[in-house]
Structures are given as structure tokens and as C-alpha cells.
Chain A
């Protein structure tokens, strides 16, 4: 896999088979990383930084923008500690994302707990995005990811990267994140109206499959939503 293919994978243009074969461009060998080879880690840090920064930014930029870089660096430090737990370099990015996410959530909890007073800690996992409320209020208090440690979240992300088809994912994002209607998605993606529903269904099935290793995740959510 070369740089072009990786770039394409970011644009989600790869077919399912290619997506399974994604490898990090120039990611050093796990053996070298485990041995503490500084050159290997230099390369790894270079490749992993965008992930750490983007995940932390997603969570913190509306509330603690000044802390984004620091938390991203801390996430990379924690990844160094956990490098012996992974089986392949492909697991590093999802694991880093899990670490970065959980560190960001912890920081938000700490900050807002202090503001609210002791003993009043709530989940702060749901970060606002461009389509939701972005006031500088504390983040929403409930999250389906609260029960997951960084390794579990990494597994969930790895499962999604492997099983969620790019076109299904695009429709899910249009519908749930961008708030587009069936008709708008149909027009935007050049899909039949019925196909939009089918893609949504398949996409949710892939998410259910990836979350299948963490049944408590969906159970808790269902219980909460009742």
C-alpha cells in the first residue's frame, strides 16, 4: 500500500477489499517500536500525531482549546506505555484514538466538576459538532461510550474501520451528523430514495456488529433511552 492509496482511503474511495488491506504508510515495525528505537518512534509520532490531535480537538476545542496540544501529547505518551499490548502496528491508530478520547473526556469532567462543585460529575462524552449546539456550556451529560476503556473503544473503531463500507458510512454521516433528509441524500449521492434507507440499515448493522463485542454498550443505551 502506498501513499496514494492511503490518501484515497481518507477520501473513502477504497472498495471493501482495499479497505481491509489499509496499512499505515511508512509505519515502522512493531519490533522496532517495542525495542524503543528512537528513529522508529520519530516516524511513528509523525504519523500518529494527526490522529491524536484530531480526536482531542473534536472533544476539547469548544471548551478547552488551549489544552488540545497538551492532551494530544499526553495521549502519545500513554501510547508508548501501551505499545507492548498491541499485536500489530495497525492497532496503534485506533488505540491512540481511544486514549485521546478518554483523556479528553477525563479533562472535561475534571474541569466541569470543579466549576459545578464537588461530587457532581457527569459524563461529558458527547461533544458538540457543527450541527449541534456549540454554546460554551458543559457538554451533554450522557454517552454510550462512557463504559468503554481506551482498549475497548479502540476495538470498536477497528471493527468499524474493517466492516463499515465507505458508502454506507457516508450516508450515515449525512443523515445523523449533517441532518440531511432521505431526499437530500438521494440527490447529493445520486442514490435511489429506497437505497438511502437500505444503506442506513446496513450501516447501522455494521455498527451493531462492531459493538457486538460490547453488548453492555447498546443495553445501557437502550435502558437510558427508555
Chain B
């Protein structure tokens, strides 16, 4: 008797599954209806199985996607995500004194490299203009000393150079200004904590008909150095160089110069 019940249960389940998947033959449909007519509580069981089947259809593809292992994080996303990490979790990770010293040292080294890179950019652009010049360029070259402008965006949102819960977390604006004056005397340097200000700076280009103007800016928030060169207000060159780690800045700037 018990075995017969099990057989009927299994048969009902198979018929229900086929009905739910719309795989039933006409005979099987009739058989299922007959089983339910004989035992009306099976209708509730059929409803439950249908609900579970629907859940299975929805959740199984998500489960498979959860286990996906192919695909590379796009390079451009990394800076954005790390910014999010700093903004969200900075409070959990106040840098200790050695870390602050290391950061300061790294920052100083960056500005040294930036100063060097700026000077090298001047030399490179001038050299390109003067080396083996076609006759028609000679006169222009005498007047086309490039104008280099350098800026940096470091928004307060990244908790650098501010106090957070009493803990000092990085360089102050005064330190940055002193560093820049010391290392970049020959260059225009602008510091921005608001992207709108940086954008305004990027809209202002010297009105020089002959000399190329090069703007180099380090977007510390986005982890990239960008460069744009214009002549007669026409963009000649533009490029972004991702800075995955600040210690990579020298190589990034070398690459920038190579491209420039």
C-alpha cells in the first residue's frame, strides 16, 4: 500500500513537471487531471511545484553568472573603484606616521619628476622645432617656445591633507604649495580641490598664434596624468596616462614625454 502511494507520488511529480514545462502529451494531461480530481489536495502541490520551477528558472542563470570566472576588469575602472575604496573606507585606515612620511616622500619625488618632465617637455618641443628645420619653420621656431602649464587636482573628498577624527592623514595645502614653489619655479602650477576649478583652468588657453601650449595635469582622484597640446587653439595632441600607483609616476611621465 505504501509502495503504491510512492508510485503514485512519483507519477504525479513526473506528470506535474511535464505539465509545467509544457511537455505533456494529451494522454498525460488527462492522467494528471484525473489524479487531481481523485485527490484535490494535489492541486496545491501542483501550484507549489510550479512556483518552485519558476524560481529555479530565474535563479539558476544568476547562480551560473555568480560563478563566472572569465573577463578582465577594464583598466579605466580601476582608478574609479580605488577612489571609491578610499572615500568609503578611509576612516578605517588612517595612515600611521611612517606611512605619512612615505606618502610625503613619494609626493616630493613626484613633483621632482614633474619638474624634470616639464623641463624635458620644453627641451623636447623646442628640439623638435629646431632640429633639421625646414626653411619655412625656421622663422616660426624662433618665436615658438612652448608654454607649459601644470596643474593638479586633489579633492578634499579623498581625505588627503585634512584632519579626520583628529588624525592627520596627509600633506597640507601649504606643504604642497611650498614643494611646488621649490621645485617648479619656472612653471605655472595650479592646485585645485574642486573639479570645476580644474575645468575652468582647462578652458583658459593663452592666445598665442605661434607657440604650442602644453597643459599637463595630474588628476589624483582619477589616478591619471593628462596632457593636451594646442597650437593656435587647435588641439594637436591629447592623451590620458593612467597612474596605477603613485610610485609609477616617473615611468608614466616618461611615457607621456615619449608620446608628446
Contacts and interface: CB of A to CB of B under 8 A. Distances in A.
Contacts of B163: none
A182 to B, nearest CB: 7
Contacts of A218: 48, 51-52, 55
A203 B63 CA distance: 14
Given A10-B67, A225-B54, A97 B47 contact: no
Interface string A58-97: 1000000000010001001100110100000000011011
Contacts of A94: 66
Nearest to A3: B69
A34 B51 contact: no
Contacts of B71: 49-50, 53-54
Contacts of A141: none
A129 B52 contact: no
A160 to B, nearest CB: 6
A144 B55 contact: yes
A69 B74 contact: yes
B49 interface: yes
B77 to A, nearest CB: 5
B47 A225 contact: yes
B88 interface: yes
Given A80-B89, A204-B56, A144 B84 contact: no
Nearest to B55: A144
A103 interface: no
Interface residues of A, number: 70
Nearest to A48: B73
Contact of A125 (B18, B58, B72): B58
B68 interface: yes
A73 B80 contact: yes
Most buried by A among B14, B64, B81, B90: B81
B239 interface: no
Interface string B80-109: 111011101110110000000000000000
B62 A38 contact: no
B137 to A, nearest CB: 44
A54 B68 contact: yes
Contacts of B48: 218, 222
Contact of A54 (B59, B60, B65, B73): B65
Given A207-B55, A221-B51, A58 B62 contact: yes
Contacts of B92: 34-36
B62 A7 contact: no
A177 B23 CA distance: 13
Contacts of B86: 36, 38
A7 B68 CA distance: 10
**Nearest 5 Cβ contacts at the A-B interface:** A36-B89, A221-B51, A54-B68, A54-B65, A49-B73
Interface of B: 10, 13-14, 17-18, 21, 23, 47-74, 77-78, 80-82, 84-86, 88-90, 92-93
Interface of A: 6-7, 9-10, 34-38, 41-42, 45-46, 49-51, 53-55, 57-58, 69, 73, 76-77, 80-81, 83, 93-94, 96-97, 101, 125-127, 129, 143-145, 153, 156-157, 160-161, 164, 169, 172-173, 175-177, 179, 181-182, 194, 197, 200-201, 203-204, 207-208, 211, 217-218, 221-222, 225-226
21 contacts: A6-B69, A36-B90, A46-B73, A50-B71, A51-B65, A55-B62, A73-B74, A80-B84, A83-B89, A93-B66, A97-B62, A156-B59, A157-B63, A179-B21, A181-B23, A197-B14, A207-B55, A221-B50, A221-B55, A222-B50, A225-B47
Given A55-B66, A176-B56, 19 more contacts: A10-B68, A36-B90, A38-B82, A45-B78, A49-B72, A49-B73, A50-B69, A50-B70, A51-B66, A76-B77, A97-B66, A125-B58, A145-B58, A157-B63, A161-B67, A197-B17, A200-B17, A203-B56, A204-B52
